[in-house]
Structure 1
Amino acid sequence: MTAIAEPRAPRAAVRRRGANLEKWGWVYMRASGVLLVVLIFGHLFVNLMVGEGIHGIDFAFVAGKYATPFWQWWDVLMLWLALIHGANGMRTIVNDYVTHAGTRRVLVWALGLAAAFLIVLGTLVVFTFDPCIGFDAETASDTIISICG
Structure 2
Amino acid sequence: MTSTIDAPRSPYSRSPQKRGVNWEKWGWIYMRVSGVVLVVLIFGHLFVNLMIGKGVDALNFAFVAGKLANPFWQTWDVLMLWLALIHGGNGMRTLVNDYATTQLTRGILKSSILAAVVILIVLGTLVIYTFDACPAGSPANLLPSFCSAN
TM-score in same-fold range (> 0.5) = yes
TM-superposed CA distance for 1:52, in Å, is 1.1
Find the partner of 2:44 among 42, 45, 60: 42
Asked if 2 retains the 8 angstrom alpha-carbon contact of 1:137 and 1:145, the reply is no
TM-superposed CA distance for 1:8, in Å, is 1.9
Aligned position for 1:66: 68
TM-superposed CA distance for 1:55, in Å, is 1.1
Aligned length: 146
After TM superposition, the runs of 4+ consecutive aligned structure 1 residues lying more than 6 A away are none
Please tell me whether residue 132 in structure 1 is matched to residue 146 in structure 2.
Answer: no
Aligned position for 2:92: 90
TM-score (structure 1 length as normaliser)? 0.87
Measured against aligned partners, the alpha-carbon deviations of 1:102-123 in whole angstroms (never above 9, x if no partner) come to 1101111111111000000000
Please tell me whether residue 8 in structure 1 is matched to residue 9 in structure 2.
Answer: yes
CA distance in 2, matches of 1:52, 1:42: 16
Q: Percent identity?
A: 60
Aligned position for 1:103: 105
Give ranges in structure 1 of 5+ residues lacking alignment.
none
CA distance in 1, matches of 2:72, 2:55: 20
CA distance in 2, matches of 1:94, 1:138: 46
CA distance in 2, matches of 1:139, 1:68: 20
CA distance in 2, matches of 1:131, 1:108: 37
CA distance in 1, matches of 2:47, 2:24: 34
Aligned position for 1:27: 29
Measured against aligned partners, the alpha-carbon deviations of 1:61-97 in whole angstroms (never above 9, x if no partner) come to 0000011100000000000000000000000010011
Counterpart residue type for residue 136 of structure 1: A
Give ranges in structure 2 of 5+ residues lacking alignment.
none
Asked if 2 retains the 8 angstrom alpha-carbon contact of 1:63 and 1:131, the reply is yes
